Structure 1
């Protein structure tokens, strides 16, 4: 088994990177873990955004940014995490994004002895699925509470159970464990997202059991099975295993927790593996000493149309527990609380007389106003959805947190539940799990326009707004995801964006810099996705859609196909000369009549693929073309092109940003002297500077949106798939001013 190491505390870095504060989380948080003995110490795992550590002010600090470089981009998929009950400094996680062909890399177990400041990693001989179905189950990784050297990890893909006896440095298969799980969500999806064996669901050590060979003797392991045994036990520290007798066999187990004082297991079940499915489920209690199962499912009769995911125990009050609906899409999620070991339950809400509800809680989102503006206040699902993470602080019965598909909710007055006086707040400050799909910075206009997945998009009017969570997301219309955004160079207040969901017009325009929007009805109801370009005078839209090839609309007319431009081609508009657009895949295409007709531009010597095109924000006819051999530049509307310096090759997204005075910098994701990462040049490629550095990862660089600020000298923005938008101040001399005169 290959061992790799990351010693990151002293790593060099080229720029200081920080998150743009969209706030509120923005994505699925399937796991939260509190340390059992260290006050205030907790971690959250995300499916595409890595790990976070809780701070004393209820904010979160990302702790895996440095690991997700271009080669190890899958590190931000976290399928499991584990804390060492005997050492609060230690944290472990199983990382990897997909178990199918989307991810070519095997997974790893990463470990830290300083709360995530530095990491070491052990490569596994198989893949890990942090963003695969069933990622909310768990935890699949556990540290023996009586022997910190022993870890167990439950794998996917039929790989079974793995054990470490040296604190996570090496792992080997537990050959005696043969119940590796058989469930495949869609067996016909061979090699696809739903075509893999789900594998193991959880590992739970019994801290009350006797030692066997220096380790906890009793261990429980759950598997993703719903027709045969799904919970197994070992009484001899893993030497032999057997199914627990009398266990339920109708549902998949999701979460399993030990209540040591009661010597009982609590397990939530659902008829789907999550995080999106499930129409029924159950909650069971297993008395270890008496080997007795008790069905403690809340008695809600015909209203049980969902499974159960999240499970929390109150360590200070044995017998007090909470469970959450995995997915109740209407009218809302439900959270249940019991103070008598599940014999009776109270709910977060109940019907008074339809449609009126009696709520046991109130909701506030001061740290992320858009969460209330665009979701809580307008959606029936105020408590959220996809609730797999649910935890009560083991040292503070009032402090609780739970993860949803949007944010982390929780509060610090939980014991007021029975009196109906609980305030639930969005507490994901610092978690930036957004998948960013496009960026723009407008000269003399909005400093940053960020199109994101699942949460539409956001406008930051000035640099001073970057550290303040917006009051609203892009709305009216609010696209599920905005995939492209652009501005009119001669009318900087005019902006266009495109969305990703058929059934309604997926083009919207703004005349106030992205503060408010209006749908473009002429876009129809069938086109969606892709990139967009807005003409300099805001009278023409060229849309390289994700569904219908390249489309064009002039003067508000219906969108029509542009057959001359290949489907999927990057498109750009000249920012000063209104008639010019640029596109291309293998060759550069230029239109001088608003996209009506196209002709081939200058040659791209040695290049076989165009990967991005950008026009100078304030200079007519100056464009930059990113290709598989590097960047080319034209100053005559694409008629001729000249290759820049060869210090950075195979470039992906590129952008211009203001430098000092009236100079400009060119930024490029590509392969240079420091490997594949972000570089900049102020001398047309004669020299390139690594501005990313060793300590900041951006994930896979071939798809990261990139934009230099058009207003703030030396500021550059990078969009990521799961860690939101980063920005930095870059200290590099700009392009000569005589090359950018209008």
Structure 2
């Protein structure tokens, strides 16, 4: 056997982690929301089970049917692949031990090799053994398995079937080290599409499963008979060793044509059951079969539940009833119409009964009841809207080995299951529920929190999006997703600063308009009539008074619509520009390019003018955030850090303390009148989420030990309504939030650092918002590398409460300053002749 060196990382309670500044928990979207390729029960310990996800990590089952995420702590920016779980295994002799193969991709997208992680306390702490190759938790074929298995007679022995032609690996020290099994030569050479230019479908699928025969003899303290499946649709896809892995041969008489997906041992029958499909999944499968292999006699039997024209799908999920030998359930991998199909047999596959059949087309007999009380949106947005009630991508279906009534199966949407499975054999009607409480596997693509409006708007992949009206709603799964229109994915969302009930969102689909608007804070929606069916994706910004939408689309450049009119091209901005609207001045929009140019518009996005050198040495703009209550104040995230402007982007100062920043946001601070700035970037504790209440004079690590995966894939949004509350939208773990205490001294004195010299060549343009009046002067901008930037633009703007010490109750509030709002403790009377005018419940201003 060929050995390799490993790197071990012990993450135990005895270690000294960075002290967390916050306690993070999930917003309860509920229902899972993503693909769960595998569920594994412990064979002898009651209630011990785990669910693996393709991009959201590993979850442990709780006694109340809920789940707990257990891999967050090891999924850092550098090790974001630990949320991709390609296999999971339990130690039959020790229910506290759990193992998983982690890694997201095997292609060039992912710079990291995979790992085998192990825990001896049910996932509370982990040790990590890095592998010399990649693992593909989100690659094709991820529903096969399990590729990882612990010898039932020797806890030190663990086998792992690798991808990419790397073969079979073995550990003899409980997962501390692994070595290649040189005697095993099959590699699973199937490639979905060798010509795939996107570098996703052009890798070898590798090995599909490892299954020990616990009924076989012991050789040198190890189980003698081991079966290994490979992603090969020939008569050599299933291999066996009868000498504890010393030698291997293809199992005689095995079926060809299809790829094996699941292989499970029924020890009392001394038989293997296997499901097959003509594709490796999880999206394909138009034919397949189910087979039983009698180990004693060495014979195969085709027990496929249907044949002929009724066989138009492959098979994935397979569950054996260990309490009742000969009883099993199997599921179609993908039956895209009219629904998935699940079959049950009580005689080892000789006969089957389906979970539904035709009552005379188009009517169906449903031998089940399906509800989703724990996640109502699953019912309203999906079950009631689609013929595929039972789901799709069913690669895992399990019967609790200690409870014949308890079963679980997973789809591309949720985890279903129930506690009366044996009723199938009597009244032939079972109760199915969405049982995914605690699994939050959504990829969050856009977030917003509107001061005086909806507390949280979350645009997500695959499940469209969700609205949480108040902070009190965060613990309750929504009754409905974003609908009318409902898309597979919403990719961005924004609110109007002066009219926060007005919201816009965009989708990434095609064939229908991908812009929707709401006038009630995202409770209900209407399709925007100003776009066609070809434009899609990107980012969106809506003006302060909600009359203009600027859309940086994914395929048609930057577009603009006024008063719900037709979207037209904005010629002055490059494709892919980062965009934002001023939240108080209706006529002002901001933009940035991937080549670091900053732009601004003073005519509601009709035209944009570049501000040369505004961002110093930055080479790309990642994010732009306008102050929610102060006109003209904005922050820009770049590859070198965060820049701040208080004059509508005419000049900028760079904040110190963090660099290479990604998503940024402002949120109501714990100190009255102050706003916290949140930034994903590189700081004192590495690549993490930081916050400052003093414009960068001091930063606090508010992430602590919570893992968010790759920081470049996340969205951060500070609450516009709840002091100190912040949200993180992750790429696979839903939305997490926390209450943070961000303290800091007085903000630093800012100085202009832009290298811009302006020469005014046009008459002032006065733009009037319903909430504020701001005079801007358009300029022809000239750059000079030898002079300090100054700006001659005439700008009147409200002063930010974070740029000066908080006023006291005995002072008069100056012009443009805050003078009221919920939680505000400063002066409420303005200097003459100005009066305190309410902007929203949280902010009043001297105007």
Say whether the 8 Å CA contact 1:588–1:601 is kept in structure 2. yes
Displacement of 1:377 in angstroms is 1.2
Is the aligned partner of 1:611 residue 2:622? yes
Post-superposition offset of 1:301:
3.0
CA distance in 1 between counterparts of 2:492 and 2:685 reads 30
1:21 aligns with 2:28: yes
Deviation readout 1:225-269 (Å, 9 max, x if unpaired): 013410000000011000001100110000000000000000000
Which residue of structure 2 aligns with residue 287 of structure 1? 294
**How much has 1:506 moved relative to structure 2?**
0.2
The answer as to 2:460 corresponding to 1:460 is no
Q: Contact between 1:408 and 1:427, CA under 8 Å: does it hold in 2?
A: yes
- Cα offsets for 1:319-369 (capped at 9, x unmatched): 000100000001000000000000000010000111111111000100000
- Residue aligned with 2:502, SS: strand
**Separation of aligned partners in 2, 1:253 and 1:529:** 37
SS of aligned partner of 1:371:
helix
* Cα distance in structure 1, aligned partners of 2:60 and 2:118: 14
Matches within 5 A, 1:124-163: 124-163=131-170
Question: Partners of 1:240 and 1:62 in 2: how far apart?
Answer: 39
Question: Could you say which residue in structure 2 is the equivalent of 1:620?
Answer: 631
Aligned with residue 644 of structure 2, among 633, 645, 662: 633
**Which residue of structure 2 lines up, in the alignment, with residue 429 of structure 1?**
437
Whether 1:404 and 2:411 are equivalent positions in the alignment is: yes
1:725 aligns with 2:725: no
Q: How much does 1:604 deviate?
A: 1.0
Structure 1 residue 212: Cα displacement: 1.2
Residue deviations 1:460-499 (CA, integer Å, cap 9, x gap): 0000000000000000000110001000111110000000
Q: Distance in 2 between matches of 1:443 and 1:469?
A: 22
Instruction: Give the whole-Å Cα distance in 2 for the aligned partners of 1:500 and 1:21.
Output: 24
Shift of 1:299: 2.7
Tell me the residue number matched to 1:648. 658
Distance in 1 separating the partners of 2:404 and 2:373? 23
Instruction: Please report how far the alpha carbon of residue 191 of structure 1 lies from its aligned counterpart in structure 2 after TM superposition.
Output: 7.1
Where 1:159 maps in the other structure, the secondary structure is: coil
Change beyond 3 A, Cα 1:212–1:190? farther
Query: How far 1:668 moved relative to its partner?
Result: 0.3
Pairwise mapping of residues 677-716 of structure 1 onto structure 2 (< 5 A)?
Answer: 677-693=688-704, 695-716=705-726
> Comparing 709-718 with 293-302, which one deviates more in the overlay?
293-302
CA–CA distance in structure 1, aligned partners of residues 247 and 12 of structure 2: 40
* Contact 2:571–2:607 (Cα < 8 Å) also in 1: no
What does residue 376 of structure 1 align with?
383
- Kindly state the Cα deviation for residue 8 of structure 1 after the two structures are TM-superposed: 4.1
Q: Closer, same or farther in 2 for the Cα pair 1:159/1:592, shift >3 Å?
A: same
- Residue from 41, 44, 59 that aligns with 2:48: 41
Q: For the residues of structure 2 that align with 1:533 and 1:324, how far apart are their CA atoms?
A: 44
**Higher mean Cα deviation, 226-235 or 124-133?**
226-235
Q: Deviations over 1:514-564 (max 9, x none)?
A: 000000021111111111000001111101111111111112221111122
Show the counterpart of 2:399: 392
Q: Is the 8 A contact 2:719 2:727 kept in 1?
A: yes
Question: In structure 2, what is the equivalent of residue 589 of structure 1?
Answer: 599
Q: CA RMSD in A?
A: 1.1
The answer to whether the aligner puts 1:320 opposite 2:316 as a matched pair is no
Decide whether the 8 Å contact of 1:553 with 1:559 is kept in 2: yes
Give the aligned partner of residue 4 of structure 1: 8
User: Quick check: 2:21–2:741 contact (8 Å CA) kept in 1?
Assistant: no
Q: Which has the higher contact order (CA 8 A, sep 6+)?
A: 1
Distance 1:387 1:605 in 2: 52
Displacement of 1:136: 0.1
Structure 2 residue matching 1:93: 3-state secondary structure: strand
For the 8 Å contact 2:117–2:127, the answer to whether it is kept is: yes
Counterpart contact for 1:101–1:191, Cα < 8 Å: no
Choose the corresponding residue for 2:676, options 665, 674, 692: 665
Cα distance per residue 1:90-145 (max 9 Å; x no partner): 00000000000111100000000000000000000000000000000000000000
In structure 2, C-alpha distance between the alignment counterparts of 1:612 and 1:2, rounded to whole Å = 38
* 8 A contact 1:190–1:196 mirrored in 2: no
- 2:811 match: none
Of 130, 146, 151 in structure 2, the residue corresponding to residue 123 of structure 1 is: 130
- Distance in 1 between the 2:599 and 2:198 partners? 37
Once the two structures are superposed, what CA deviation does each residue of 1:585-616 show, in whole Å capped at 9, x if it has no partner? Answer: 11110000011111113611121111110000
- Equivalent residue of 2:39, what SS? strand
Task: Give the Cα–Cα distance (whole angstroms) in 2 for the partners of residues 304 and 421 of structure 1.
Answer: 24
Name the structure 2 match of 1:54.
Answer: 61
The 5 Å alignment of 1:478-497 reads 478-497=486-505
After TM superposition, the structure 1 = structure 2 runs for residues 134-213 of structure 1, keeping only pairs within 5 Å, are 134-189=141-196, 192-213=199-220
> Does residue 505 of structure 2 align to residue 501 of structure 1?
no
Residue 359 (structure 1) aligned to one of 345, 366, 370: 366
Counterpart of 1:342? 349
* Alpha-carbon separation, structure 1, partners of 2:802 and 2:95: 58
User: What is the CA–CA distance in structure 1 between the aligned matches of 2:418 and 2:37, rounded to whole Å?
Assistant: 18
Equivalent of 1:311 in 306, 318, 324: 318
Q: Distance in 2 between matches of 1:738 and 1:515?
A: 32
> SS of the residue aligned with 2:446?
strand
User: Which residue pairs with 1:532 in the alignment?
Assistant: 540
Q: 1:105 and 1:397, CA in 2 relative to 1: closer, same or farther beyond 3 A?
A: same
Aligned partner of 1:471 in structure 2 is 479
Q: TM-score, normalised by structure 1?
A: 0.99
Q: Per-residue CA shift, 1:184-220, capped at 9, x if unaligned?
A: 0001126710000001000000000101121000000
CA distance in 2, matches of 1:687, 1:669: 15
SS of 2:495's partner is strand
Q: Tell me the CA shift for residue 303 of structure 1.
A: 1.4
| 2:81 partner SS | helix
Matches within 5 A, 1:263-302: 263-302=270-309
Match of 1:248 in 2: 255
Residue aligning to 2:566: 558
Paired residues of 1:682 and 1:732 also in contact (CA < 8 A): yes
Secondary structure in 2 matching 1:493 = coil
Query: What displacement does 1:6 show?
Result: 3.2
Q: Deviations over 1:275-329 (max 9, x none)?
A: 0001000000000000000000013431110000000000000000010000000
Aligned residue pairs total 740
Given that residues 359 and 420 in structure 1 are in contact (C-alpha distance below 8 angstroms), is that contact kept between their aligned partners in structure 2?
no
TM-aligned CA deviation for residue 421 of structure 1: 2.5
Distance 2:695 2:152 in 1: 58
CA distance in 2, matches of 1:622, 1:325: 56
The whole-number CA distance in structure 1 between the counterparts of 2:515 and 2:13 is 45
Q: Is the 8 A contact 2:235 2:253 kept in 1?
A: no
Q: Within 5 A, what are the aligned runs for 1:566-581? A: 566-581=574-589
Q: Which has the larger radius of gyration?
A: 2
Distance 1:71 1:165 in 2: 29
